[in-house]
Amino acid sequence: MPDIKQENDCCNTAGYFLRFKKYYENFKSIIRNLKIRKKIFIILFVEVFIALSIGILIMQVTFNIYNGLVYSQAAQVLNLSTTSIEKKIREIETLTYNIATDSNIQENANMMMHASSDYNRSEHLSKLLEQLVTYSFQDNNIQSVSFVDTQNRQYNRGASPFGIDEKVKNLVIEKAVAAEGKSVILKPPDDENCIMIARIIRKIHALSLEYMGTVIIRYDIGDIANEYLSSSKDNEPILAIISEEGLIFSSKELSDNEIDMMTFKSDSGYEIKKINGEKLFLAHNVSDYTGWTYVSIIPYDKIFKSLIFMRTIVLLVYFLIFLLTIIAGRKLAWNLTRPLEILTQEIKQIESGNFKIPDNAFTEPERHDEIGQLHRDFEIMIRKIDALIEENYIKQIVLKDAQLRALQAQINPHFLYNTLETINWMAKVNHQEDISRMVEALGTLLRGAISKESVIRLEEEIRLLESYIVIQKFRYDKKLDFQLYVPDTLKDLKIPKLTLQPIVENSINYGLEKMLGTCCIRVSFVQMPDFLDITIEDNGPGIDPETVKKMNEGQIKPNGFGIGLKNIDDRIKLLFGNRYGVHISSEVGRGTKVRVTIPYTRGDVDVQGAAG
């Protein structure tokens, strides 16, 4: 009895499971075949997501507005400080220029260099220093004005005329000399609020530009910066000025780690960074004149404390609501978007140029809603487009071949050969070997060009190319350096006629013709496992990327009846398949490289078989 009861329980469980599976499959079928309009009503969680997103967006906009207000206040202080300091720096640079070009200083510095005695030198030095004293009182923040003569002796005048350290002085003079008359700005390592602005003094008389010394002004920028910080006491900002060499000025002592963290992605704006465990609001601006970075530092927690708490609570509530909604709607959303993803993949496949849609690409053929119909209509449309493209492609090839044949029909081959043979005979009789060679090369080239064969052996193609080079050698002589080597094992390979010669002709037209020196054109053959890689490269001026792109896409057409690279690429693909063809690569100033890939074909070429 227990066994029978247990068996009945197992049967009931299996029955429930099968019925549940049947109901579930029916439900999936109903959902799958619903109209998109009805599916939108089912997945209401999208509305919740939109509502939550709008709420978060409003909250974020509020924060951004507040951040913007804080940044505006900090930027105002930065702009005032930057404008004032930069204005003073320009004034001091102008002052150094006035000192360097002052006629009295020019005269006394020159007399010091050429003084006949120490007394004369001291007399002119005294006059020069009197002039420096006058200049030092033109601005209250000028600490000192120093003059370094040609003997590297320094003389200091001003409110705080202490001597400059020898290493600092030599560095200042070195940079000033390198600036070739322009002013240079440096930060002394042991002077907290001062900068040094230096300029060399050259002799103006008779434009000799002889070096006569260097003027150095020490200037205190601390008072100017602190003047504008007083307008933002509520947020307790810290102003720092940083250059590539390091810290220029800071209203509060900063550690090396704090200074190293003050690197920014943009020239102006604000960032929020955590430095030494403290979150800081950093507004910054890069000066166009000095290249210095002005930074306003405000503790983040002091101005955003209440907003941070409110945002945390709101985000927590939003997260819980969104989590519950996403769990309920995930399965339905997947069922809605999956067919569209399949369609997107098919569209990307079409974008890559592959119009061959595999049979039964859509894995749910029993689907009868708008998406299923869209897939079927899309595949029908692509197959029709592919058929039209293939038909037009064949028509273009036939048309190009007809043009080539029409051109060939305009010339009487027998008359042309007889004429060339007569010219060749007359050249040999008159011992004109160069003319004879040129005529023979021309005959070979024309005989190959108008022959009815569309595919020839690589050896014959090389013979046509060498005949063309013989003619061009007579024209360009040493200006053309042509290199070619083909292994004997490759000479019986099949290749479309007039594949290499038009490419070499392009190298001459667009490379050699635009060069003053020697143009080197090299044709090399690399045997790959599955194909032969033929490279034609030159050292010409190169082609810009936009033109290279258009040439690879076949947008640039040949002039007249010339055979363009697109024509060569089309013929190779038609004969051997789409995996072979022509590719161009080039860089301006570094030459051009054209790669031709063909299979190892030695027998007769079957166009239909090869292309398939």
Domains, the chain, ordered by start:
35-327 (3.30.450.20), 453-611 (3.30.565.10)
Phi, psi values for residue 566, rounded to 5°: -65, -35
**C-alpha pair distances (Å), 172 with each of 96, 145, 199, 444, 526:** 14, 14, 9, 74, 59
The average pLDDT across 274-295 equals: 84
The average pLDDT across 482-508 equals: 88
The average pLDDT across 480-508 equals: 88
- Compute the half-sphere exposure of residue 185: CA atoms within 13 Å on the CB side of its CA: 24
CA distance 224 to 459: 83
CA distance 478 to 517: 9
Considering 2-6, 33-37, 81-85, 533-537, the range whose residues carry the highest mean pLDDT is 533-537
Q: pLDDT-derived band of residue 380, with 50, 70 and 90 as boundaries?
A: confident
296-316, pLDDT tens digit by residue? 888 777 666 666 777 788 778
Exposure string over 68-99, b if 16+ CB within 10 A, otherwise e: eebbebbbebbebbbeebbebbeebbebbeeb
The CB density around residue 387, as the number of other CB atoms within 10 Å, is 11
CA distance 598 to 530: 9
DSSP 8-state assignment for residue 358: P
Q: Identify the pLDDT of residue 136.
A: 87
Question: Is pLDDT of 415 > 90?
Answer: no
Tokens matching residue 470: 């013989």
Q: pTM of the predicted model, to two decimals? A: 0.43
- Considering the chain, what is the average pLDDT of its residues? 79
**Cβ neighbours of residue 55 closer than 8 Å, sequence gap 6 or more:** 314, 318
Name which of 161, 127, 167, 126 is nearest 146 in CA terms. 161
Phi, psi values for residue 589, rounded to 5°: 85, -5
Name which of 307, 268, 262 is nearest 285 in CA terms. 268
Question: Is pLDDT of 586 > 60?
Answer: yes
Name which of 92, 71, 68, 90 is nearest 288 in CA terms. 90
Q: In what order do the strands lie in the sheet with 581-586?
A: 480-484, 519-527, 532-538, 592-598, 581-586
> Which helix (H) or strand (E) is 247 found in, with range?
strand 246-250
CA distance 187 to 598: 66
Q: pLDDT-derived band of residue 612, with 50, 70 and 90 as boundaries?
A: very low
- ∠ CA 46-47-49, nearest 5°, is 60
The average pLDDT across 156-161 equals: 85
CA distance 205 to 189: 37
CA distance 235 to 78: 14
- Compute the half-sphere exposure of residue 378: CA atoms within 13 Å on the CB side of its CA: 23
Q: pLDDT-derived band of residue 95, with 50, 70 and 90 as boundaries?
A: very high
| Residue 558 vs residue 564, higher pLDDT | 564
Q: Identify the pLDDT of residue 47.
A: 74
Length of the chain: 612
**Cβ neighbours of residue 292 closer than 8 Å, sequence gap 6 or more:** 241, 242, 243, 248, 286
The average pLDDT across 553-582 equals: 76
In the chain, count of helices (H) and strands (E)? 17, 17
CA distance 19 to 470: 87
Question: Is pLDDT of 522 > 70?
Answer: yes
Q: Which residue has the tokens 């005695």?
A: 117
CA trace torsion 429, 430, 432, 438 (10° rounding): -50
Tokens matching residue 535: 């490279």
Name which of 141, 308, 338, 343 is nearest 225 in CA terms. 141
434-450, pLDDT tens digit by residue? 777 777 777 777 777 76
Question: Is pLDDT of 536 > 90?
Answer: yes
What letter represents residue 275's amino acid? I
Q: Identify the pLDDT of residue 578.
A: 87
CA distance 366 to 46: 27
248-267, pLDDT tens digit by residue? 888 777 877 877 888 888 88
